[in-house]
Amino acid sequence: MELLPLPRTGRTPVRVLTIAGTDSGGGAGIQADSRTMALCGVHAVVAVAAVTVQNTVGVSRFHEIPPDVVADQVRAVVGDIGIGAAKTGMLASTAIIDAVADVCGEVGLGRAGSIPLVVDPVCASMHGDSLLRPDALDAVRHTLIPLATVVTPNLDEVRLITGIDVIDDTTARRAAELLHHLGAQWALVKGGHLRGAATSTDLLYDGDRMISYTRPRVATGNDHGAGDTLAAAIASALAHGRSVPEAVEFAKEWVSRCLAAAYDLGAGHGPVSPFWRLSRPDNRAGCSE
Ligand SMILES: Nc1ncnc2c1ncn2[C@@H]1O[C@H](COP(=O)(O)OP(=O)(O)O)[C@@H](O)[C@H]1O
Ligand SMILES: Cc1ncc(COP(=O)(O)OP(=O)(O)O)c(N)n1
């Protein structure tokens, strides 16, 4: 696997924005995004959309940030710092999605702009706790997804957004087509929730090419934050100049290794871990000049 280059000491790294929720347990959300980005040689900038009260066993409540404060965080960092890509995660409500869509248009984020945007349409945690108001699903379909350079739903999100129950390759293809039809430039249907399979396959579609990414399934219950890690790695690779298919190829291998390196934490599901990169002997070879 060709790792993304780390910046030389004192050099300014590429920057990626995450617009998402925080996870007090540190496993998913902005915490997973920032950790992933750091280990992909990226300086993470953030727009907090919600604060969750969460640990390894579930989410007990969340607090929504006022939509104008979310949008102002985006304006503040994009204008001053500049970014090479962005991703969205938990956005919680229609009002926040609308504010994010408006500011994305204003600063040139998303498929209609010049800065690629990865949309992870987060609806619920792995424990089944809601992270999106039910009345916001229409805004996800018709406001958020049309902004996406890549949209990355898991199979529960696919069911909620498209009504398609993905059980095999045929239904995954139908779902990818429908997500593309909703307006995403690329749709990535993630297969992580097909837990009985020996492999884990994600399907990428842009209206023309249907590309499959398959890795052996990692036998672990410590898979908290896998979706965020994948989307953050895609955004990082895009910021480093990779194409969408190349970025997904990189991120798929990255998340597989993070699943293999996951650790126990608390009484529930531990987080996937990017710390394996810290002990790679070839790390310096990945440094940009
Ligand atoms: N046990 C596993 N082994 C290998 N890959 C997995 C496993 N679980 C999830 N993945 C991969 O991790 C990424 C996130 O998957 P998924 O679990 O579907 O999303 P989410 O975390 O959003 O629910 C996808 O690339 C998926 O294929
Ligand atoms: C604040 C916050 N954002 C997103 C999630 C969901 O994380 P994700 O990596 O998509 O998946 P799971 O770990 O829930 O499978 C979250 N829990 N909290």
Instruction: Tell me how crowded residue 68 is: count the other CB atoms within 10 A of its CB.
Output: 12
Residue in 228, 258, 259, 272 to alter for ligand 2 test, most ligand atoms within 8 A of Cβ: 228
Residue 27 resides in a domain? yes
pLDDT at 196: 84
Residue 20 has pLDDT above 70, yes or no: yes
Q: What is the pLDDT of residues 38-61, one digit of tens each?
A: 999 999 999 999 999 999 999 999
Atom of ligand 1 nearest to the CA of 200: 27
Domain range for 197: 14-219+251-268
| CATH number assigned to the domain comprising residue 114 | 3.40.1190.20
CA distances from 268 to 61, 126, 256, 257, 284 (A): 17, 11, 20, 21, 35
Residue 1 resides in a domain? no
Residue in 51, 126, 229 to alter for ligand 2 test, most ligand atoms within 8 A of Cβ: 126
- Of all ligands present, the nearest one to the C-alpha of 126 is 2
State both tokens at 11: 């050099």
Task: Pick the closest to residue 35 from 278, 275, 240 (CA basis).
Answer: 275
Residue 4 resides in a domain? no
Residue 47 resides in a domain? yes
CA distance 268 to 252: 24
Residue 2 resides in a domain? no
For ligand 2, atom 4: residue with the closest CA = 29
Cα angle 288-213-179, degrees, rounded to a multiple of 5: 105
175 with 167: CB under 8 angstroms? no
Task: Pick the closest to residue 39 from 287, 280, 275, 253 (CA basis).
Answer: 275
CA distance 270 to 197: 21
Q: What is the pLDDT of residues 212-244, one digit of tens each?
A: 999 999 999 999 999 999 999 999 999 999 999
**Which ranges of 120-168 would DSSP assign to H, the alpha helix?**
137-139, 155-162
ipTM attached to this prediction: 0.98
CA distance 286 to 3: 6
Atom of ligand 1 nearest to the CA of 152: 22
205 with 180: CB under 8 angstroms? yes
pLDDT at 24: 98
Residue 8 resides in a domain? no
Pairing of strands 210-216, 199-205: antiparallel
Q: DSSP letter string over 206-262?
A: SSS-EEEEEEEPP--S--BTHHHHHHHHHHHHHHTT--HHHHHHHHHHHHHHHHHT-
Residue 46 resides in a domain? yes
84 with 240: CB under 8 angstroms? yes
Task: Pick the closest to residue 36 from 216, 286, 237, 186 (CA basis).
Answer: 237
DSSP conformational letter for 166: -
Phi and psi torsions of 48, nearest 5°: -80, 125
pLDDT at 264: 98
pLDDT at 289: 44
Instruction: Tell me how crowded residue 165 is: count the other CB atoms within 10 A of its CB.
Output: 10
Residue 206 resides in a domain? yes
Q: What is the pLDDT of residues 118-170, one digit of tens each?
A: 999 999 999 999 999 999 999 999 999 999 999 999 999 999 999 999 999 99
Q: Based on the structure, what is the number of domains in the chain?
A: 1
Question: pTM of the predicted model, to two decimals?
Answer: 0.98
